[in-house]
């Protein structure tokens, strides 16, 4: 079952304590698409500028990623530049040049309308709804957002959340959206807004999922060398949605495995700059690390 | 198999967003002993002042806690006062009156010398070794410490760690002790100092254990109402050591279950001030919540 994803395809300039990468491939939809394409066909909706050429596009080629919905606009592509702290736990944005992304109005190709899985990346919640309006009958809609929309477009965001099955956000965003510090209370408040499941991403502390079947906690994989956290959350979402699409189910057991699969993909993403590690990843490596997550968390009953 | 614990028995004055508790029972050895006593006989070594009476001691009575080693000195008992932030994630110490604890020199009663499990609570590392010198042939020695000793008595601490099987500290302490930010690297460095296992407590983010068998991650139990985090780490240690003592084993599978049992006890501790929740806890409640941890973390293989 195919997945429609809308989000950004961009250039990133990233500085970590371990090096610097200049104008490399980035953007939420890029990380999402490559991660999800290990499991299911992906249909990409995004916009790039005239500076985005074959060198960049080759990341998507040879994979099950449909680029019909990748619009090319006049002007430069979205460019984000950031610098991470020595411990990688915080980052400063040096510049955000929205460029062609600023006036992005997602147009869904006719061939995408029958998509059964939809992932609404972090764009204006009004645009997220416009994407949904252009899809026939999605079986599962998941969504990301950020503080900027939570505080800046709360009514629009509420209207979108009412049409979403699963919301994936980080812990700070869950707290801001709900007005509750306690994540259990935050989850209840957010699920009352529409999503039947909430996936809270906590970076190096893993993921908490809340649904009608209770809560599920997955750790992040303890890595000795974290190189660049950029894109880890989007990669998580790609692995999560890709797995769900491949299983044609979203029951509790499948959601839990999808969370672990998302964590597995994210753990590879951070091992190198940009999509470098994802692009040379194999399904065998993925399955092996999924097994290591089992080993990492397993304990016997009393 | 009995557990010898040395640490503090104290008065705590605690302010949280939910209320204030004045001069209630606290101290690392108090939380540890009550938690561990659900699983194995505990032998307490601590000092209290003349202000510490039957009202306080009744917390220990009726449990399998041997008070032969509870010394009574002239003067007031150790008193700690602290105030938590609105989110309970940080706290300010308002005052620390060491009082009789300042000149504490643990004397191990003859009847304690055959203890097979020893927990060295957070006291001067030199005193921790003096306790070990007074025990015959412990099968398992676990230890806590804090930043104050890591920076203030590094050589003494190294000498103690060389004689310890398991070190239980928080993530900040692990980073300071090892000089490594990455916890996988920190664990390797610390295990090279002596302990064969390192248990890293991350508060609301759970626990990571590193041993020769690899790593194990356990989440904290997602509670809707966290009332007072004071003593959670010591309660974790009590549940952890108590379980190990009851199983007469410390292989990898048993260590993992001990981590979950420690997390289980800690999740009750934070539900009320002081030891209030632990003191009305039942074994049935403990076993039920252990089962909930299984449910919280379970996922199917691929």
* pLDDT tens digits, one per residue of B93-147: 999 999 999 999 999 999 999 999 999 999 999 999 999 999 999 999 999 999 9
Residue A189's pLDDT band (cuts 50, 70, 90): very high
| CA atoms of B35 and B40, how far apart (whole Å) | 10
What is the pLDDT at residue A86? 87
Q: How confident is the model at residue A87 (pLDDT cuts 50, 70, 90)?
A: confident
Yes or no, beta carbons of A287 and B297 under 8 Å apart: no
A219/B contact by beta carbon, under 8 A: yes
Q: What percent of chain B has pLDDT over 70?
A: 100
**For testing the chain B interface, which of A215, A219, A220, A264 should be mutated: the one with the most B CBs within 10 Å?**
A219
> Nearest by CB to A208, which of B185, B222, B299?
B222
Band of pLDDT at residue B189, cut at 50, 70 and 90:
very high
> pLDDT at residue A1 above 90?
no
C-alpha–C-alpha distance, residues A171 and A202, integer Å: 6
Closest Cβ opposite residue A224 in set B184, B223, B291: B184
Residue B246, pLDDT score: 97
CB contact under 8 A, A298 and B219: no
Q: Which residues of B touch A300 (CB under 8 A)?
A: 253, 256-257
| Cβ partners under 8 Å of residue B60, min gap 6 | B30, B33, B34, B44, B67
What is the pLDDT of chain A when averaged over all its residues?
A: 97
Residues B236-284 have pLDDT tens digits of 999 999 999 999 899 999 999 999 999 999 999 999 999 999 999 999 9
Give alpha helix (H) positions in chain B: 28-36, 54-57, 125-133, 147-152, 154-161, 171-178, 183-191, 232-247, 252-269, 276-279, 283-297
Q: What average pLDDT does this structure show over B216-220?
A: 98
Alpha carbon of B194: minimum distance to chain A alpha carbons (Å): 20
Lowest-pLDDT range of A24-38, A83-97, A179-193? A83-97
CA distance B218 to chain A (A): 7
Cβ separation B214–A291 shorter than 8 A = no
Per residue in B20-32, pLDDT tens?
999 999 999 999 9
If you measure CA to CA, which chain A residue comes closest to B217?
Answer: A297
**Strands, E assignment, B50-133:** 65-72, 79-84, 91-97, 117-120
Does the beta-carbon distance from B302 to A290 stay under 8 Å? yes
Q: How many CB pairs under 8 A join A and B?
A: 100
Q: Select from B183, B206, B222 the Cβ nearest to the Cβ of A215.
A: B222
| A-chain residue closest to B175, CA distance | A87
Residue B221 pLDDT > 90: yes
Q: Is A98 on the interface with B (CB under 8 A)?
A: no
Contact yes or no for B290/A302 (Cβ under 8 A) = yes
CB atoms A299 and B185 under 8 Å: no
How confident is the model over A93-103, as a mean pLDDT? 95
Residue among A224, A259, A298 minimizing CB distance to B185: A224
Q: According to the model, what pLDDT value does residue B86 have?
A: 87
A217 in B contact zone (CB under 8 Å): yes
- In three-state secondary structure terms, B79 is strand
Does residue B1 have a pLDDT over 90? Answer: no
From chain B, pick out residues whose CB is under 8 angstroms from the CB of A206: 205-206, 217, 219
Cβ B222–A184 below 8 Å, yes or no? yes
DSSP state of A7: -
Q: Are A299 and B260 inside 8 Å of each other by CB?
A: yes
A208 touches B at CB < 8 Å: yes
Predicted TM-score of the model (pTM):
0.96
Strand B42-48 to B65-72 pairing: parallel
Determine the average pLDDT of the residues in A159-184: 97
Burial class (CB in 10 A: 0-12, 13-18, 19+), A32: buried
Q: What is the DSSP letter of A159?
A: H
Chain B residues within an 8 Å CB radius of A299: 216, 218, 253, 256-257, 259-260, 294, 297
B135 touches chain A (CB under 8 A): no
For range A268-275, the mean pLDDT = 97
What pLDDT score was predicted for residue B89?
A: 83
The pLDDT tens digits of the residues spanning B36-67 come to 999 999 999 999 999 998 889 999 999 999 99
- Among B253, B290, B299, whose Cβ lies nearest the Cβ of A260? B299
Cross-chain Cβ contact A219/B208 below 8 Å:
yes
Query: Residue B247: closest CA among chain A residues belongs to which residue?
Result: A302
CB atoms within 10 A of CB B24: 18
> Across chain B, what does the average pLDDT equal?
97
Q: Could you tell me which of A136, A112, A127 has the C-alpha nearest to residue A159?
A: A127
Window 5-64 of A: residues touching B by CB (8 A cutoff) are none
Q: Is the pLDDT of residue B181 over 90?
A: yes
| Confidence grade of residue A51 (pLDDT, cut at 50, 70, 90) | very high
**Per-residue pLDDT, B259:** 98
C-beta of residue B166 within 8 angstroms of C-beta of residue B195: yes
Distance (Å, rounded) from C-alpha A277 to C-alpha A296? 22
pLDDT of residue A70: 97
How close A170 gets to chain B, by Cα (Å)?
14
Question: Across chain A, where does the E strand assignment appear?
Answer: 3-6, 10-16, 19-26, 42-48, 65-72, 79-84, 91-97, 117-120, 140-143, 166-170, 197-201, 207-211, 214-218
């Amino acid at each position: 079952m195919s997945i429609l994803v809308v989000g950004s395809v961009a250039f990133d300039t990233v500085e970590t304590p371990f090096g610097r990468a200049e104008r490399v491939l980035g953007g939420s939809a890029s990380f999402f698409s490559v991660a999800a394409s290990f499991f299911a066909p992906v249909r990409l909706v995004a916009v790039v500028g005239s500076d985005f050429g074959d060198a960049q596009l080759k990341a998507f080629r040879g994979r099950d990623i449909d680029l019909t919905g990748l619009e090319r606009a006049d002007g430069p592509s979205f460019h984000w530049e950031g610098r991470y702290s020595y411990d990688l736990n915080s980052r400063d944005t040096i510049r955000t040049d929205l460029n062609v992304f600023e006036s992005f109005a997602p147009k869904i190709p006719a061939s995408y309308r029958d998509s059964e899985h939809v992932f609404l990346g972090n764009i204006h919640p009004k645009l997220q709804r416009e994407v949904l309006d252009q899809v026939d009958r999605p079986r599962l809609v998941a969504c990301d957002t950020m503080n900027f929309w939570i505080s800046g477009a709360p009514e629009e965001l509420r209207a979108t959340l009412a049409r979403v099955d699963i919301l994936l956000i980080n812990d700070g965003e869950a707290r801001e959206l709900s007005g509750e510090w306690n994540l259990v209370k935050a989850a209840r408040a957010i699920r009352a807004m529409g999503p039947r499941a909430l996936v809270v991403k906590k970076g190096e502390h893993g993921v908490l999922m809340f649904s009608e079947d209770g809560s599920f906690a997955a750790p992040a994989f303890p890595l000795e060398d974290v190189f660049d956290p950029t894109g880890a959350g989007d990669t998580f979402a790609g692995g999560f949605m890709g797995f769900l699409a491949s299983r044609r189910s979203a029951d509790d057991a499948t959601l839990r495995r999808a969370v672990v699969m998302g964590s597995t993909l994210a753990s590879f993403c951070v091992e190198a700059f940009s999509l470098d590690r994802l692009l040379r990843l194999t399904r065998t490596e993925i399955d092996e690390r999924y097994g290591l997550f089992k080993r990492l968390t397993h304990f016997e009953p009393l």
